[in-house]
Amino acid sequence: MNWLSYALLGALAASATAIFAKIGVAGIPSNLAVAVRTTVVVLLAWCLVLARGEQAALPALSGRAWLALLLSGIATGASWLAYFKALSLAPAVRVAPIDKLSLAFTLALAWLILGETLTLRALAGAALMVAGALLTLG
């Protein structure tokens, strides 16, 4: 599979995440729901790594890679905790579109931090996605 196939699969899985998370968070603290979900993710990821023999690459991780992955993990945790709390307070059809505003934030951070080029087409697409997300609120 190519990157686009994986990206579409990720988008499909993310949509299922919203639905299952909304069901799972009903009647329990949102932080507990995140802890259960995270445990499943950790187990699944390590099973995949071990099955593919990818743990052999651990010594090759640089200090910079460790730091970046640590910060990414913190950001993921904060994202999941906030997302599950939002799902516990509002319908998924309102929470999920706002969560997808991460696209606009990602474009800005990719430009600021990574020095990636932003095309007018990408900016227009992001603006339309932001407008779409805001329209779902009305």
Residues 82-119: tens digit of each pLDDT: 999 999 999 999 898 899 899 899 999 999 999 999 99
Residues 9-61: tens digit of each pLDDT: 988 988 898 899 999 999 999 999 999 999 999 999 999 999 999 999 999 99
Contact between 20 and 84 under an 8 Å Cβ cutoff? The reply is no
What value does the mean pLDDT take over residues 124-134? 92
What pLDDT is recorded for position 14? Answer: 87
Residues 56-69: tens digit of each pLDDT: 999 999 999 999 99
- Segments making up each domain of the chain, as ranges: 3-90, 100-138
pTM here is 0.84
What pLDDT is recorded for position 82? Answer: 94
The DSSP string of 21-88 is: HHHHTTTS-HHHHHHHHHHHHHHHHHHHHHHHTGGGGGGG--HHHHHHHHHHHHHHHHHHHHHHHHHH
Q: Please tell me the total number of residues recorded for the chain in this structure.
A: 138
Closest CA to 107 of 129, 77, 136: 129
